[in-house]
Structure 1
Amino acid sequence: MNTRKGIIQFLIMMLLAAAIVPSGGREVSAAAAAHPVSVSGGYAHGLAAWSDGTVTGWGYNKYGQVGDGTNIDQFIPKRIAGLADIVQVAAGNNVSFALNAAGEVWGWGQTYGSYISDDPALPYQKRGGPAKLVGLHNVSFITTDGSAGIAVMKNGTATLWYPSYDENDNMRMKVRYLPLPGITGIRSVVIAGNDALFLKGDGSVQQLSIYNSIMGRIRWASDPVTVNTLAASGIKQMASSGDNAFLLRADGQALRWNKTLKAPSEIAGLSSVYKLQTGYNKLYVLKTNGTLWQWNYNSGPLNQPFQVKGAERITDLWGSTGSFGFAQDKKGTLLGWGEGFYGGLATGSGTVTNDDTIAVAPVQTPLAFLLNGETVDFYGTTGVINGKLYVPYSSVFKALGVKVNMTQSNPDPKFNNYRFRVWSFAYGGTVIHIKASDPEQLFINGKKTERTISLKALSDATQFPLQDLCELLGISLKWNKVSGEVSLGDSGE
C-alpha cells in the first residue's frame, strides 16, 4: 500500500509540474501577461491582437481606422471596445479588419466606418466603431490591399469582399461578397496588384486575377476563371506589397514574383529565412538565427538587404502598407521600426529617414488613467515624450478638480509685441500659469520661476506634462509602465 501510495503521489507531482512548466522549461503563471498574436500596419496606423483576445489600435486616424470612435490621431495604443476573442488583425492604407475565433470579421476605417455628426462631446470628430461584415462566416484567415479583402474559409475556399455604392442610394456604401471559384484547400492568401495568390495546404501557390482589366472593374461572378500555378510545392509563407509578392520556400530561400518576372525568382542574399513580411517597397525578413533584415527593393540596383539594429532574438514579424514594421522578441515585447508618420509606430521614436539609423524600439503600452481607483476616459490622444506623460487639457484635469483656462499674454516687446497663449491650472491654493513662449515661462501663484516646463503639440492639440503639473499642484501620481496604469489622487498613495 505504501509503495502504491508513493507512486500515486509521484504521478500527481509530475502532472502538476507539467501543468505549470511548458516544454521549453520556463515557468509561467496563471496570470501571465498578454502577448501579441497578430499585428498589422496600414499607411500610418497600427493594430495588434493580443493573446487575451483584445485589440489595440494607434496612429493616423482621419477615417477612424484606429477604432477608438474618433478621427483624432492616437500616439499611444488604445484598446478597441466591442471586440473579443480576436485571433487576427489586418490593416491596409486607411482601413482595419479583425477576425475572431468563431470565424466572424469586423471592419472599420475608410469606407467601412460611419460618421457621427450629432455627438455633443465630439460633434465633428466622432466616428463609428468596428462593424461586422455580415457576409463572412467560418473564416480562418483574412487579408486586405487597403480597400478590398479576401477571406479564407475553414473549408479551404475563399471569398472576395469589397466596398461598393448601394444601387438604390449612390451616397451610401455597402460591402459586396464574391466566392472565388476554381481553388480549394487554401491555407492563406495575399493580394498583389490585381491578382490574388493562394497558398494551399500542400505548399503549392496558385494565382487568380481579381480585376477585369477589359471592363475596368473588380471581378464579377460571371467573369471567366483562369487559375495559374506559380509553385507546385515547397512554399510555406507569402507576403505582398503593391504588385510584388514574396514567397518563402521551405528551405529558407526568399522568392519574388510580379507580372514582369512571370515566375518566382530567388532573391540573392536572402536565405536562411524563417518568416517574411512587407512594407511599402520594402521586404522584411526574420532569419532563423533570430536577426531582422530589410531590403528596400525599389531603391536602386546597388541597394542590398541590411540588418535592422537592436533586433536580436526575434521570434515573430509583421508588416504594413506603410514604411514600417513590427516584431516580437523572445520576451514577448512588441517592437516597431521604420518611418512612423503620424505616430503609426507608437514607439516615440519619430520618423527615421536614414537606413543606417533604423533600429527597433518597444511599442508603448496602452495607458489607463485611474482617479481614486475609477477609470477616467477621454477622447484625445496621450503621449510619452522623452519618457514623460503628456495629456491634452480635455483629459484628466476636470476629473481631478483642476480648473484649466487659456488666455493671451500682454504684447511682448521682445517678440514684436506678439501675444502668446497663457494656460492656467488652478487646484487647491495653487495657480500655475504657463506662457507658451519659446522657451515656455512658468509662473506659480503669480511669481515667475526658473524651472523649465515644456509643452508639446500632438494631433493639433497642445499637450501638457502631466507628471510635472501633478507635482506642482500637489496631486499624487504613480505610473506603472508595465501595466500602463496611471493612478492619480488617493489611488496613488
Structure 2
Amino acid sequence: MLLRKSKLLIASLLILSLCFPAGSEAAAAVPRAVSVSGGSAHGIAAWSDGTVTGWGDNKFGQVGDGTSINQYIPRQVEGLSGIVQVAAAGRVSFALSRDGEVWGWGLDYSSYIENDPLLRYQKRGGPVKLEGLREVSSITANGSLGIAVKKDRTATLWYPSYDQPGVLPVQIHYLELKAVTGIRSALINGNDALFLTEEGSVKQMSIVNTVYNRIRLESDPVSVATIASSSITGMAASQGELFLLRSDGQVLRWNRGLKAPSAVAGLNNVYKLDTGFYRLFALKRNGTLWQWNYNSGVLAKPYQIKKGNQISNIWGSSGTFGFAQHKDGTLLGWGDRFDTGLATGRGTVTKDQAGYILTPVRQPLMFFVNGEPFSFYGTPSIKDDKLYVPPTSVFKALGVQVSYGTFKADPKYGNDPFTGWSFVYGNNIVQVKVSDPLELYINGKKSDREFTMNRLPDSAQFPLEAICDLLGIGLQWNKSTGEVRLEN
C-alpha cells in the first residue's frame, strides 16, 4: 500500500512539474500589460496586477504622478487599484476598475496644489472619480469627453462643463445615449458617437447640436444611422475616418464622403485594429504588425513595421505612435514621439523605408536609499543603457551637496574659474564645467575621464553611476526588476 501511495505521489509531482515548469512562478509574478493607450504625447498602461503606470508629456498632470513634470520613465499612478482598462486622449487619462468605476486625470481633471514645500508650482492632484458612472464595462475617450459602455449594454456620454472658469477639476455632465442598445463597444469620432452592437452592426449618432454648437441635450432630437448592418467584429477611428474589421479579417474604410464602407487593399486576414493621428494600425492573424499612413502620399499603402512579428495585441493613441505586445509579454512602442518622452529604450527614433522599429517600453524604476524606499518628483532617464537623474533627486538623501554656479578651480593646477555644477560629499568634490564638450574636475584637478549628461528639453540629467563611483557611494541597479539601491 505504501509503495502504491509513493507511486501516486511521484506521478502527481510529475504532472505538476509539467503544468508548472521551472521558473514559471517567477514568470507568473511579472505583471503583463492588459490595456494601453496613448494621448498626444503620453502613454498609460494598466497591468495584470491592477496597477497603472504613466509616462511622457505631463504639463496638465496627465501622467498621473502628481506633478506637471514630464516623465521620461514610467511612474506608477497612486490611488488606483483593480484597474482593467485605460483610455488616454489628448492631454487626459482615464481608468476603469473591475468594479465598474471610472477615474480621470490630466487636463480639466487634475487640480492645482499650491504651496507644496518641494514643488511649489508644479504639484497636481491625482485621479478623480467620475461619480456619475457605475456598472461600466468599457470606456473610450476623445479629448476630455468620453463614452462609458455599461454592463447592461447601454451607453453614457460624459463631458466637462466650464461654467466655473479656473476651477479644477471641472464639473462633469452625463448624458445617457438611449437611442442605441445592445452595445458591444463605442468610439467618438468628431461630432459622432459610433457603436458596435452585439449583432455585428455599426450605428452612428451625433452627439453635438450643430445649431447651437454644443453637446446635445437629452431633449434634443436624435437620429441613428446604420453604417454596416452585420459581420463587423471591431472598429477604430481617427480624424473623421472610420475603419471596420469584418469577421473574415478584411479591413473596411468609411467616411462621410463614401456611401458605403470599402475594402482596404493589403489589409486582410486582420485580427485587431487601432489608430493614431492619421494612422491605422493593424495586427494580422499571423502575428505581424502593419501601419497605414492613409493621409500621406509618400506611404500611401499599408506596410509592415520592422521586427513586427509574433505580436499578440496592439493599442493606439491620439498621437503619431502606437503600442504592441509581444507574445512573450514585452510591451513595445513605435512612432514619431518616442524620442521626446515616451520612454522607450532609445534616445532617438529609428526608421527606414519600411517604417519604424519596435522598441521596448521601459519599466518603472524603484529607488532605495540605505535600504529605505525613496521617491522624488523629477524624472530619471536612460540613454545608451546608462541611468541619469536630475540634481533634485537622490543626492540630498545621500548627503551630497549639489549646487550650480561659478567655482574657483584649484590654483595649483593652473585652472581658471568656471561655471558649472558641483557635487560635494565628505572630502570629495566633483565639478562639471558646462562647456562643449563637458569638462570634469575631481577635487579641483581636471580629469580626462569621459563624462556625459543626457540633455533633455526640461531637465539637466546627470549619470548616477558615474557620480556615485567618483564620490565613493555604493550603487546597485537591477535592470530586470528596475530596483536602484544606493548605500553610504
So what's the TM-score if we normalise by structure 1?
Answer: 0.92
Deviation string, structure 1 residues 29-86 (Cα, Å, up to 9, x no partner):
5852101000000000000000000000000000100000100000000011000010
Give the superposition deviation at 1:302.
6.4
2:368 paired residue among 361, 367, 370: 370
1:448-467 correspondence to structure 2 within 5 Å? 448-467=446-465
Contact 2:74 2:343 in 1 (8 A): no
> How far apart are the structure 1 equivalents of 2:8 and 2:44?
48
Deviation string, structure 1 residues 195-228 (Cα, Å, up to 9, x no partner):
1111112222111111111221112101112111
SS at structure 2 position matched to 1:471: helix
One-letter amino acid matched to 1:211: V
Structure 2 spans left out of the alignment, 5+ residues: 410-415
Give the superposition deviation at 1:467.
0.7
Cα RMSD after superposing both structures: 2.4
> How far apart are the structure 1 equivalents of 2:298 and 2:390?
47
1:260-271 correspondence to structure 2 within 5 Å? 260-271=257-268
Deviation string, structure 1 residues 182-205 (Cα, Å, up to 9, x no partner):
211111111111111111122221
Contact 2:293 2:299 in 1 (8 A): no
1:385 paired residue among 383, 399, 404: 383
> How far apart are the structure 1 equivalents of 2:87 and 2:151?
18
Contact 2:160 2:173 in 1 (8 A): yes
SS at structure 2 position matched to 1:114: coil
Structure 1 spans left out of the alignment, 5+ residues: 412-417
SS at structure 2 position matched to 1:443: strand
SS at structure 1 position matched to 2:179: coil
> How far apart are the structure 2 equivalents of 1:465 and 1:348?
16
SS at structure 1 position matched to 2:29: coil
> How far apart are the structure 2 equivalents of 1:26 and 1:207?
49
One-letter amino acid matched to 1:133: L
1:336 paired residue among 327, 333, 351: 333
Contact 2:347 2:383 in 1 (8 A): no
SS at structure 2 position matched to 1:400: coil
Contact 1:349 1:361 in 2 (8 A): no
Q: Residue in 1 aligned with 2:72?
A: 75
1:124 to 2:128 alignment: no
One-letter amino acid matched to 1:117: E
> How far apart are the structure 2 equivalents of 1:486 and 1:480?
6
Q: Residue in 1 aligned with 2:476?
A: 478
CA 1:252–1:390: 2 relative to 1, 3 Å: same
CA 1:225–1:17: 2 relative to 1, 3 Å: farther
Q: Residue in 2 aligned with 1:289?
A: 286
Contact 2:42 2:54 in 1 (8 A): yes
1:134-283 correspondence to structure 2 within 5 Å? 134-166=131-163, 169-172=164-167, 173-283=170-280
CA 1:385–1:217: 2 relative to 1, 3 Å: same
1:104 to 2:107 alignment: no
Q: Residue in 1 aligned with 2:413?
A: none
Identity of aligned residues (%): 55
CA 1:456–1:17: 2 relative to 1, 3 Å: closer
Q: Residue in 1 aligned with 2:357?
A: 359
1:309-348 correspondence to structure 2 within 5 Å? 309-340=306-337, 342-348=340-346
One-letter amino acid matched to 2:191: N
> How far apart are the structure 2 equivalents of 1:93 and 1:148?
10
> How far apart are the structure 2 equivalents of 1:86 and 1:470?
38
CA 1:419–1:97: 2 relative to 1, 3 Å: farther
Contact 2:61 2:105 in 1 (8 A): yes
One-letter amino acid matched to 2:361: V
> How far apart are the structure 1 equivalents of 2:248 and 2:61?
41
One-letter amino acid matched to 2:342: G
State how many pairs are aligned: 479
> How far apart are the structure 2 equivalents of 1:419 and 1:459?
27
> How far apart are the structure 2 equivalents of 1:352 and 1:292?
17
> How far apart are the structure 1 equivalents of 2:7 and 2:234?
47
1:436 paired residue among 430, 434, 437: 434
> How far apart are the structure 2 equivalents of 1:135 and 1:325?
31
SS at structure 1 position matched to 2:287: coil
Deviation string, structure 1 residues 342-371 (Cα, Å, up to 9, x no partner):
313544343467654510110111101111
> How far apart are the structure 2 equivalents of 1:350 and 1:322?
17
Contact 1:58 1:77 in 2 (8 A): yes
So what's the TM-score if we normalise by structure 2?
Answer: 0.92
Contact 1:88 1:100 in 2 (8 A): yes
Give the superposition deviation at 1:88.
0.3
Give the superposition deviation at 1:482.
1.4
Return 343-352 or 447-456, whichever deviates more: 343-352
Q: Residue in 2 aligned with 1:91?
A: 88
CA 1:8–1:484: 2 relative to 1, 3 Å: same
> How far apart are the structure 2 equivalents of 1:355 and 1:293?
14
Q: Residue in 1 aligned with 2:34?
A: 37
Q: Residue in 2 aligned with 1:407?
A: 405
> How far apart are the structure 2 equivalents of 1:478 and 1:302?
45
Return 458-467 or 33-42, whichever deviates more: 458-467
Q: Residue in 2 aligned with 1:396?
A: 394
> How far apart are the structure 1 equivalents of 2:383 and 2:24?
35
